[in-house]
Structure 1
Amino acid sequence: MRRDVKKYVRECGVCQKSKEDLIHPRGLLQPLPVPQSIWSSISMDFIEGLPVSRKKDVIWVVVHRLIKYSHFIALAHPYSAKEVAQLFLENIFKLHGMPHDIICNRDRVFMSTFWREMFEKLGTTLKPSTAYHPQTDGQTERVNKCLETYLRCVTGEKPKEWGEWLHLAEWWYNTLYHTSIQTTPYQALYGQEPHVHVPYIAGESLVASVDRSLQQREAALAMLKFHLERAQNRMKQQADRLRTDCEFQVGDLVYLKLQPYRQHSVQRRISHKLSPKWFGPFKVISKVGSVAYKLQLPDGSRIYPIFHVSQLKKHVGEDICSNELPLIGPDGCISKELVKILDRRIGKRGGRAVTEVLVEWTNSFPEDSTWEALYQLQQQFPQFNP
Structure 2
Amino acid sequence: VHGKTHWGTQVLTDQFLRNWGCIGIYGIVKQIMEKCAICQKVNRKVMRKAHQGGQELVLQPFQSIQVDFTELPQVQWWKYLLVIVDHLAHWVEAMPVVKATANVVCKTLVELIIPWNGMVNHIDSDRGTHFTSKILQEALGIKWELRTARHPQSSGQVERMNQTLKRILTKLMTETQMSWIECLPLPLLRTQPRSDLKVSPYEMMFGLPFLTPLNSMATYEEEEDRIKKYILSTAQTLEELREKGRIPRTAILDFKIHSVIPGDWVMVKSWKD
Question: Which of 2, 9, 12 in structure 2 is aligned with 1:3?
Answer: 12
Aligned mates of 1:73, 1:153 — CA distance in 2: 19
Alpha-carbon distance in structure 1 between the residues aligned to 2:230 and 2:175:
47
2:38 counterpart letter in structure 1 = V
- The structure 2 residue matched to 1:188, chosen from 200, 204, 210, is 204
Q: Distance in 2 between matches of 1:247 and 1:109?
A: 32
- TM-score scaled by length of structure 1: 0.54
Equivalent of 2:77 in 33, 36, 55: 55
167, 188, 191: which one aligns with 2:185: 167
- Aligned residue in 2 for 1:215: 232
Residues 175/18 of structure 1: CA separation in 2 closer, same or farther (3 Å cut) = same
Match of 1:206 among 208, 221, 230: 221
Aligned to 1:301: none
Sequence identity percentage = 21
In the aligned structure 2, how far is the partner of 1:250 from the partner of 1:21? Answer: 21
SS of structure 1 residue aligned to 2:130: coil
Structure 1 or 2: more helix by fraction: 2
1:136, CA displacement in angstroms?
2.3
SS in 2 for 1:61: strand
Q: Deviations over 1:12-33 (max 9, x none)?
A: 20331455544244x3112223
* In structure 1, distance between residues paired with 2:257 and 2:215: 60
Matched residue, 1:151: 169
Aligned twin of 2:101: 80
- Alignment partner of 1:248 is 2:262: no
Structure 1 residue matching 2:168: 3-state secondary structure: helix
CA separation in 2, counterparts of 1:221 and 1:115? Answer: 31
Structure 2 match to 1:133: 151
Separation in 2, partners of 1:188, 1:10: 51
Q: C-alpha deviations, 1:336-375, integer Å up to 9, x for none?
A: xxxxxxxxxxxxxxxxxxxxxxxxxxxxxxxxxxxxxxxx
CA distances 1:240-263 after superposition (whole Å, capped 9, x unpaired): xxxxx942165996524287xxxx
TM superposition score normalised by structure 2:
0.73
SS at match of 2:123: strand
**What is the CA-CA distance between 1:75 and the residue it aligns to?**
1.8
Equivalent-residue separation in structure 2 for 1:252 and 1:95 (angstroms) = 42
Of the candidates 23, 36, 45, which is equivalent to residue 47 of structure 2? 23
More off after superposition, 190-199 vs 94-103? 190-199
- Across the aligned residues of Structure 1 and Structure 2, the Cα RMSD in angstroms comes to 3.5
Where do residues 1-386 of structure 1 align in structure 2 (5 Å cutoff)?
A: 2-3=11-12, 11-17=35-41, 19=43, 21-25=45-49, 27-48=50-71, 50-77=72-99, 79-120=100-141, 124-156=142-174, 161-171=179-189, 174-198=190-214, 204-207=219-222, 209-232=226-249, 246-248=257-259, 255-257=266-268
Distance apart, 1:70 and its partner CA = 0.8
Separation in 2, partners of 1:39, 1:226: 15
Shift of 1:230: 3.6
After superposition, the Cα gap between the structure-2 partners of 1:136 and 1:198, relative to the gap in structure 1 and judged at 3 Å, is closer
Give the whole-Å Cα distance in 2 for the aligned partners of 1:159 and 1:106: 35
CA drift of 1:61 comes to: 0.7
Higher strand residue share: 1
SS, match of residue 136 in structure 2? helix
CA distance in structure 1 between the aligned counterparts of 2:269 and 2:70, rounded to whole angstroms: 23
CA contact (8 A) 2:97 2:104 kept: no
TM-fit CA distance, 1:200:
6.8
Gaps of 5+ in 2: 2-10, 16-28
Provide the secondary structure at the position in 1 that maps to 2:74. coil
Secondary structure of the structure 1 residue equivalent to 2:73? coil
Task: Report if aligned partners of 1:34, 1:228 keep a CA contact under 8 Å in 2.
Answer: no
Aligned partners of 1:92, 1:143: CA distance in 2, in Å? 18
SS of the equivalent of 1:46 reads strand
4+ residue segments displaced more than 6 Å: 157-160
The one-letter code of the counterpart of 1:12 is C
Change (3 A) 1:88 1:18: farther
Which ranges of structure 1 fall in alignment gaps of 5 or more residues?
237-244, 260-271, 274-386
Distance 1:200-1:89 versus aligned 2 partners, 3 A rule: closer
Answer whether contact 1:72 1:167 (CA < 8 A) is retained. Answer: no
Q: Distance in 2 between matches of 1:256 and 1:221?
A: 48
- Counterpart residue type for residue 40 of structure 2: Q
- For 1:157 and 1:255, the matched residues in 2 are separated by 51
